[in-house]
């Protein structure tokens, strides 16, 4: 099912010429309305008229989070403030947040994008959609809200938290589509079990999970425990929020809505473009945004791109499931490790709960890595010998996936902090 078949299944030649036209408009607009863009372009000796093909995108300077910080709060907006009708802010925990602004048209476009994503998950006018992403400055709640309303679905704007009530309403109101972070979905599953309910008593059909990395093994767990199709959704505040890319039911990569965004994959060190299929840093240019257009925004997220046709009929390119961020990548004794790879290895053992915490430290100039994993109550009550076997199994699974030795520590059920939004999976004591 498609929300906007004309746009989502546009033939690629048409799409490219559409993109070029919109790109030119955007570059012209930021050049004339945003001093920092004009200055950067002048430093490179380029003017908007130099952009005559999609390849010319590479002439343009990158934009980073630092640029947004330097221009905090409003100086990167490309329209007068009176045209901005909404502010959101990124969820970063350090320093000042990144403030992003939307015009009325931006909000309408965002709703269109989210309607496409929800339709991918099967949402229709008669669907019941429970939105358990946080409402507020975070883009998750309101982004989904406007998309679901645009479809005309019945929206439950419950936000995150109060999980028992979530579960009760999910059952009573017959929720069909659940939207939340994958880690909060785990928390919901746990609460279901504590309340003695099983998935048959629910009416769930699909989940749209994103805002943080999650592995294929986690997907299998969520699908099995909730009896749903679990789809991945990607986005970031600086670009618009959720709805930049979303999985269709093929579940083979996330379609990035190319009539709004031009994706590139670059080598984060050399900053050169990488060929199709190779993983690198995702860079995004918005071509249909008024309030805060971004040119070649360095997302710091790691993915690859595929232009292969998809069985769903959509022609928009697909990004791979996101492995992690360049800044979340742990370098342990020289080996690059993403927390999502550890998650994958843990879940592959099939014997532990999907709640874990990675603690990295440095002892005598040597990196150490400890993985705390919760075991089920029955396992925890078991004899020490059995627990030791489990511990070894996990360590060997991680070793065979990543080639590093880790210290695995099994911990009691419910001792690792649960999250209502984005989970914190890593404590890196080396930085302190
Ligand atoms: O997390 C927007 C969002 C809300 C996306 C709800 C999906 C669902 P920010 O708070 O600005 O925006 O955080 C953006 O989160 O750069 C990624 O590192 C990470 N992220 C978002 N979606 C995914 C995903 C929202 N599906 C940052 N897989 C991004 C992995 C994701 N990481």
Q: Report the pLDDT value the prediction gives residue 92, as an integer from 0 to 100.
A: 62
**pLDDT at residue 171 is higher than 60:** yes
- How far, in Å, from the CA of 11 to the mean position of ligand 1? 29
- How far, in Å, from the CA of 281 to the mean position of ligand 1? 14
Q: Are 227 and 199 in contact (CB under 8 A)?
A: yes
Which residue's alpha carbon is at the smallest distance from atom 30 of ligand 1?
213
Cβ-Cβ contacts under 8 Å for 311 (sequence gap 6 or more)? 250
Same domain, 228 and 375: no
Distance between CA atoms of 127 and 175, rounded to whole angstroms?
8
Percentage of the chain beyond pLDDT 70 is 98
Q: Is residue 49 part of a domain?
A: yes
**pLDDT at residue 62 is higher than 60:** yes
Same domain, 242 and 367: no
- How far, in Å, from the CA of 188 to the mean position of ligand 1? 20
411 to each of 297, 388, 416, 428, how far by Cα in Å?
41, 12, 8, 19
**Ligand 1 pocket mutation, candidates 210, 214, 245, 341, criterion most atoms within 8 A of CB:** 210
Q: Report the pLDDT value the prediction gives residue 327, as an integer from 0 to 100.
A: 83
Distance between CA atoms of 114 and 243, rounded to whole angstroms?
5
Relative to beta strand 407-411, strand 366-374 is: parallel
Domain span including residue 49:
1-249
- How far, in Å, from the CA of 424 to the mean position of ligand 1? 14
Which residue's alpha carbon is at the smallest distance from atom 21 of ligand 1?
211
Domain boundary among 212, 234, 249: 249
CATH label of the domain that carries residue 121: 3.40.50.12780
Which atom of ligand 1 is nearest to 422's Cα? 1
DSSP one-letter code for 236? E
Q: Is residue 256 part of a domain?
A: no
Q: Is the CB of 184 under 6 A from ligand 1?
A: no
Same domain, 174 and 27: yes
- How far, in Å, from the CA of 408 to the mean position of ligand 1? 29
User: Under DSSP, is residue 88 helix (H, G, I), strand (E, B) or coil?
Assistant: strand
Same domain, 232 and 364: no
Q: Are 341 and 401 in contact (CB under 8 A)?
A: yes
Q: Is the CB of 166 under 6 A from ligand 1?
A: no
Domain boundary among 189, 215, 249: 249
- How far, in Å, from the CA of 275 to the mean position of ligand 1? 24
pLDDT in tens, 293-350: 999 999 999 999 999 999 999 999 999 999 888 888 888 887 888 898 999 999 998 8
Q: Is residue 396 part of a domain?
A: yes
Same domain, 24 and 145: yes
Q: Report the pLDDT value the prediction gives residue 364, as an integer from 0 to 100.
A: 84
Distance between CA atoms of 375 and 237, rounded to whole angstroms?
36
* Upper half-sphere CA count for residue 211 (Cβ side, 13 Å): 30
Same domain, 141 and 235: yes
Mean predicted confidence (pLDDT) in 129-135 = 97
**pLDDT at residue 252 is higher than 90:** yes
pLDDT in tens, 281-292: 999 999 999 999
Beta bridge partners of 426: 358
Domain boundary among 249, 276, 299: 249
Mean predicted confidence (pLDDT) in 229-251 = 98
CATH label of the domain that carries residue 420: 3.30.300.30
Q: Is the CB of 239 under 6 A from ligand 1?
A: no
Distance between CA atoms of 387 and 394, rounded to whole angstroms?
11
Number of domains forming the structure of the chain: 2
Relative to beta strand 366-374, strand 356-363 is: antiparallel
- How far, in Å, from the CA of 51 to the mean position of ligand 1? 30
Same domain, 69 and 198: yes
Which atom of ligand 1 is nearest to 325's Cα? 18
**pLDDT at residue 217 is higher than 60:** yes
Q: Is residue 320 part of a domain?
A: no
Q: Is the CB of 373 under 6 A from ligand 1?
A: no
Q: Is the CB of 91 under 6 A from ligand 1?
A: yes
Q: Report the pLDDT value the prediction gives residue 392, as an integer from 0 to 100.
A: 94
Q: Is residue 218 part of a domain?
A: yes
CA 89 to chain centre: 16
Q: Report the pLDDT value the prediction gives residue 94, as an integer from 0 to 100.
A: 61
Task: Evaluate if pTM is beyond 0.85.
Answer: yes
**pLDDT at residue 229 is higher than 60:** yes
Same domain, 350 and 245: no
Question: Could you identify the residue written with the tokens 């029955």?
Answer: 378
Q: Is the CB of 210 under 6 A from ligand 1?
A: yes
Same domain, 205 and 77: yes
Same domain, 339 and 239: no
**Ligand 1 pocket mutation, candidates 121, 236, 242, 318, criterion most atoms within 8 A of CB:** 236
Same domain, 215 and 336: no
Q: Spell out the alpha helix ranges (H) of 152-181.
A: 163-172
- How far, in Å, from the CA of 18 to the mean position of ligand 1? 27
**pLDDT at residue 30 is higher than 90:** yes
Q: What angle do CA 146, 149, 151 make, to 5 degrees?
A: 115
Same domain, 230 and 379: no
What phi and psi, each to the nearest 5 degrees, are found at residue 253?
Answer: 100, 160
Q: Are 349 and 385 in contact (CB under 8 A)?
A: no
User: Under DSSP, is residue 426 helix (H, G, I), strand (E, B) or coil?
Assistant: strand
E strand residue ranges, 364-411: 366-374, 407-411
410 to each of 346, 373, 374, 395, how far by Cα in Å?
12, 5, 6, 11
Question: Could you identify the residue written with the tokens 């880690």?
Answer: 183
Q: Is residue 95 part of a domain?
A: yes
Q: Is residue 48 part of a domain?
A: yes
Q: Is residue 312 part of a domain?
A: no
Cβ-Cβ contacts under 8 Å for 21 (sequence gap 6 or more)? none
**Is cis: bond before 295, omega within 30 of 0?**
no
Q: Report the pLDDT value the prediction gives residue 352, as an integer from 0 to 100.
A: 84
């Amino acid at each position: 099912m498609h929300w906007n078949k004309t746009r989502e299944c546009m033939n690629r030649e048409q799409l490219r010429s559409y993109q070029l036209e919109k790109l030119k408009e955007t570059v012209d607009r930021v050049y004339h309305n945003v001093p920092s863009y004009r200055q950067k372009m002048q430093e490179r000796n380029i003017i908007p008229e130099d952009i005559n093909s999609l390849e010319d995108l590479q002439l343009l300077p990158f934009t980073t989070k630092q640029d947004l910080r330097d221009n905090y709060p409003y100086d990167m907006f490309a329209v007068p403030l009176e045209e901005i009708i909404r502010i959101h802010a990124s969820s970063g925990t350090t320093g000042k947040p990144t403030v992003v602004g939307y015009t009325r048209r931006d909000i309408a476009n965002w709703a269109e994008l989210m309607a496409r994503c929800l339709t991918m998950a099967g949402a229709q006018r008669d669907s019941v959609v429970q939105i358990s992403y946080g409402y507020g400055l975070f883009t998750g709640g309101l982004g989904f809200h406007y998309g679901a309303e645009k479809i005309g679905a019945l929206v439950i704007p419950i936000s995150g938290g109060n999980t028992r009530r979530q579960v009760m309403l999910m059952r009573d109101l017959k929720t069909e589509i659940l939207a939340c972070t994958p880690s909060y979905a785990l928390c919901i599953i746990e609460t279901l079990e504590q309340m003695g309910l099983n998935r048959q008593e629910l009416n769930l059909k699909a989940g749209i999970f994103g805002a943080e990395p999650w592995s294929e093994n986690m997907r299998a767990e969520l699908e099995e425990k909730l009896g749903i199709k679990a789809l991945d959704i990607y986005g970031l505040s600086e670009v618009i929020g959720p709805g930049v890319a979303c999985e269709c039911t093929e579940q083979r990569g996330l379609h990035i809505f190319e009539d709004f965004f031009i994706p590139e994959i670059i080598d984060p060190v050399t900053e050169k473009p990488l060929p199709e299929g190779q993983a690198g840093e995702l860079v995004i240019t918005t071509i249909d945004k008024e309030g805060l257009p971004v040119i070649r925004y360095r997302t710091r997220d790691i993915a690859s791109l595929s232009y292969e046709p998809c069985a769903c009929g959509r022609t928009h390119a697909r990004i791979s499931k996101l492995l992690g961020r360049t800044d979340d990548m742990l370098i342990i004794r020289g080996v690059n490790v993403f927390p999502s790879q550890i998650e994958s290895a843990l879940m592959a053992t099939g014997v532990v709960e999907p709640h874990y915490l990675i603690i990295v430290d440095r002892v005598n100039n040597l990196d150490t890595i400890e993985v705390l994993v919760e075991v089920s109550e029955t396992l925890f009550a078991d004899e020490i010998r059995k627990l030791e076997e489990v511990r070894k199994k996990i360590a060997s699974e991680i070793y065979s996936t990543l080639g590093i030795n880790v210290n695995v520590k099994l911990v009691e059920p419910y001792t690792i902090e649960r999250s209502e939004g984005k989970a914190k999976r890593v404590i890196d004591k080396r930085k302190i």
